[in-house]
C-alpha cells in the first residue's frame, strides 16, 4: 500500500469516530510489516478519561490479532463532519504506545493535511529520548 493510500485509509477509518464531546473526529490506519492494514478511530466517553485515541485503537486491534511488526501509521483529524484541512499529530500517550512496539528510527508517522497531502516524521522525530522496553532490559 502506498503512503497516500494509507492516508486515505485513515480518512475512511475516521468515519466511525465516536467523538460527541470534543467534536474532533480522528482516524488512523496502521500498516503492518506483512502488508495488512488496521484502521482505528477515537472513541470518547461521558466520563472523559476512558476515551481512546484513533492511533491506539488501530494498534490494539492489530496487536490483538497477533501483529508485532509495524511499518507506518497515517493519522487524520479535525472537526467532525468537515473534510481534513489541518495536520493532526499523535498525542504523547500514543507516541509512547508506538515506542513499545516500533523502531523509533524507522517507524513512520504520516499526518494528513488533505486527502492528497501529508507530512511525514519518524517516531524518533516525535519522541526523542524516549523510554522503551530496552531500558528495562527487554
Ligand atoms: O492524534 C490524536 C489527537 C487527538 N485524538 C482524539 C482524542 C479526543 O477524542 C479528541 C480530542 O482530543 O481527539 C486522537 O484520537 N488522536
Ligand atoms: Zn493519542
Q: CA 45, CA 36: separation in Å to the nearest integer?
A: 29
| 57 ligand 1 Cβ < 6 A | no
**Full-model pTM:** 0.98
pLDDT at 131: 98
pLDDT digits (tens, 9 = 90+) for 110-128: 999 999 999 999 999 999 9
How long is the chain?
138
Ligand 1 mutation target, pool 17, 77, 94, 110, most atoms within 8 A of CB: 77
User: What fold does the segment set 3-136 form as a domain?
Assistant: Cytidine Deaminase; domain 2 (3.40.140)
Amino acid at each position: 500500500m502506498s503512503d497516500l493510500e494509507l492516508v486515505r485509509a485513515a480518512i475512511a477509518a475516521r468515519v466511525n469516530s465516536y467523538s460527541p464531546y470534543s467534536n474532533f473526529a480522528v482516524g488512523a490506519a496502521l500498516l503492518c510489516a506483512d502488508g495488512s492494514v488496521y484502521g482505528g478511530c477515537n472513541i470518547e466517553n461521558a466520563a472523559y478519561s476512558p476515551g481512546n485515541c484513533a492511533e491506539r485503537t488501530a494498534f490494539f486491534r492489530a496487536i490483538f490479532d497477533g501483529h508485532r511488526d509495524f511499518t507506518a501509521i497515517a493519522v487524520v483529524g479535525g472537526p467532525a463532519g468537515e473534510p481534513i484541512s489541518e495536520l493532526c499529530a499523535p498525542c504523547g500517550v500514543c507516541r509512547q504506545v508506538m515506542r513499545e512496539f516500533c523502531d523509533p528510527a524507522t517507524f513512520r508517522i504520516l499526518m494528513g493535511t488533505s486527502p492528497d497531502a501529508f507530512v511525514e516524521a519518524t517516531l524518533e522525530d516525535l519522541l526523542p529520548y524516549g523510554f522503551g522496553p530496552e531500558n528495562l532490559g527487554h
